């Protein structure tokens, strides 16, 4: 097993806020954003960190990057205490937030790159190598020369990634990196993360509401809700553990009636000559054979709910952990 890059034990974060009690009075209240979270992340892993709005994902990332001081528990990242924000620590991490920008609005992204070069003390040789490589992978050779205000959201996000990773950090926190991007831009960004992870042996912790990001990039997920961990393990085991049924979609030569499928399974769709049966995993083979014996089958497709469906079921109470 590779070395531990992130160690979190019993992390707790409480915010103090004031709420109105009337026209002229307020009341002080505590908001427990993170209650009791523990996990370890190992070198070169790409881990999905997912949960509904308000689950505590962004608060946890801010504690790991040192932007927030935990109320309780232990946090160690790359051997450092993040809240101390030591220069050596900051040189090794990056926090990319899809809704935050570090690019100067009136300047071209290349000017922000040059500024970050000086901030991180990057040599000319290393700077040129990294910028040229990342710009080529993301296909933004022309984009980086235009004023940021003239760029599309997808172009701007790709430039944000370069600016954040210019110092080639060992650990990258990605908070909703594809939010608001079109399908092509999402794909390009995911491909870049894969290349970066492999080329620089980097560790990545990703939060996203887009389950395609998670399923495409991560083998492991940490699921949290209401500030606690619900699941920590492989995506494949999460799906296999909670999905007890499969869907058999069929297309027949002749039109069909729902009565033709009694006893085979739950018919969820039926129109013309095609439909979908929901059956238990154990009966998939038998039901498929029965369909082939009873009807002239043109096409048969067997599938199971994807990660998004499973996560939705967990948060809505359909699947119990």
Q: What is the pLDDT along the chain (321 residues), one digit of tens a residue?
A: 689 999 999 999 998 887 777 777 778 888 888 999 999 999 999 999 998 888 899 999 999 999 999 999 999 999 999 999 999 999 999 999 877 788 999 999 999 999 999 999 999 999 999 999 999 988 899 999 999 999 988 899 899 999 999 999 999 999 988 888 888 888 888 999 999 999 999 999 999 888 889 999 999 999 998 888 989 999 888 877 777 788 889 999 888 888 888 888 888 888 888 888 888 888 889 989 989 998 888 998 888 777 777 777 777 765 555
Measured CA to CA, the distance from residue 307 to residue 209 in angstroms comes to 11
Measured CA to CA, the distance from residue 244 to residue 231 in angstroms comes to 18
Burial of 49 per CB tally in 10 Å (0-12, 13-18, 19+) = buried
Question: Considering only CA atoms, which of 43, 46, 19, 47 is closest in space to residue 31?
Answer: 19
What pLDDT, on a 0 to 100 scale, did the predictor assign at position 86? 95
Its pTM stands at 0.80
Q: Return the structure tokens found at 173.
A: 């926190």
What pLDDT, on a 0 to 100 scale, did the predictor assign at position 317? 64
- Can you tell me which residue has the tokens 């002229």? 24
Q: DSSP labels for 231-275?
A: EEEEHHHHHHHH--EEEEEEEESS---GGGGTTT-EEEEEETTEE
Strand-by-strand arrangement of the 228-234 sheet: 72-77, 4-20, 26-42, 228-234, 220-225, 46-50, 203-207, 171-175, 93-97
Burial of 221 per CB tally in 10 Å (0-12, 13-18, 19+) = buried
All domains in the chain, ordered by first residue: 4-240 (3.40.50.300), 244-304 (3.30.70.1560)
What pLDDT, on a 0 to 100 scale, did the predictor assign at position 222? 95
What pLDDT, on a 0 to 100 scale, did the predictor assign at position 319? 53
User: Hey, is 35 helix, strand or coil?
Assistant: strand
- Can you tell me which residue has the tokens 């926190």? 173
Helices and strands in the chain: count of H runs, count of E runs: 10, 13
User: Which residues sit opposite 221 in a β-bridge?
Assistant: 48, 233
The length of the chain, given as a count of residues? 321
Question: Considering only CA atoms, which of 211, 203, 146 is closest in space to residue 178?
Answer: 211
Residue 245, number of CB atoms within 10 A of its CB: 16
Measured CA to CA, the distance from residue 272 to residue 297 in angstroms comes to 13
């Amino acid at each position: 097993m590779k070395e531990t890059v992130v160690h979190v034990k019993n992390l707790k974060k409480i915010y103090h806020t004031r709420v109105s009690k009337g026209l002229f009075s307020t009341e002080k209240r505590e908001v427990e954003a993170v209650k009791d979270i523990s996990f370890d992340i190992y070198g070169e892993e790409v881990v999905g960190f997912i949960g509904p709005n308000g689950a505590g994902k962004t608060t946890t990332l801010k504690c790991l990057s040192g932007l927030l001081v935990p109320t309780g528990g232990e946090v160690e990242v790359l051997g450092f205490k993040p809240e101390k924000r030591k220069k050596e620590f900051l040189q090794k991490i990056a926090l990319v937030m899809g809704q935050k920008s570090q690019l100067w609005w009136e300047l071209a992204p290349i000017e922000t790159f040059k500024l970050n070069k000086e901030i991180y003390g990057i040599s000319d040789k290393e700077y040129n190598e990294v910028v040229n490589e990342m710009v080529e992978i993301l296909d933004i050779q022309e984009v980086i020369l235009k004023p940021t205000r003239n760029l599309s959201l997808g172009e701007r996000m790709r430039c944000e990634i370069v600016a954040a990773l210019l110092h080639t950090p060992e650990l990258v926190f990605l908070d909703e990196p594809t939010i608001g991007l079109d399908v092509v831009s999402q794909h390009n960004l995911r491909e870049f993360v894969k290349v970066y992870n492999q080329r620089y042996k980097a560790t990545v912790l990703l939060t996203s509401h887009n389950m395609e990001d998670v399923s495409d990039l991560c083998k492991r997920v940490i699921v949290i809700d209401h500030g606690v961990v619900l699941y920590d393990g492989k995506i494949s085991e999460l799906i296999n553990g909670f999905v007890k049924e499969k869907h058999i979609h069929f297309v027949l030569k002749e039109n069909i009636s729902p009565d033709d499928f009694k006893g085979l399974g739950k018919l969820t769709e039926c129109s013309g000559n095609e439909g979908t049966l929901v059956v238990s995993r154990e009966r998939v083979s038998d039901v498929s054979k029965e369909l082939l014996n009873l009807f002239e089958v043109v096409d048969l497709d067997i599938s199971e709910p994807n990660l998004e469906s499973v996560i939705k079921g967990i948060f809505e109470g359909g699947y119990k952990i």
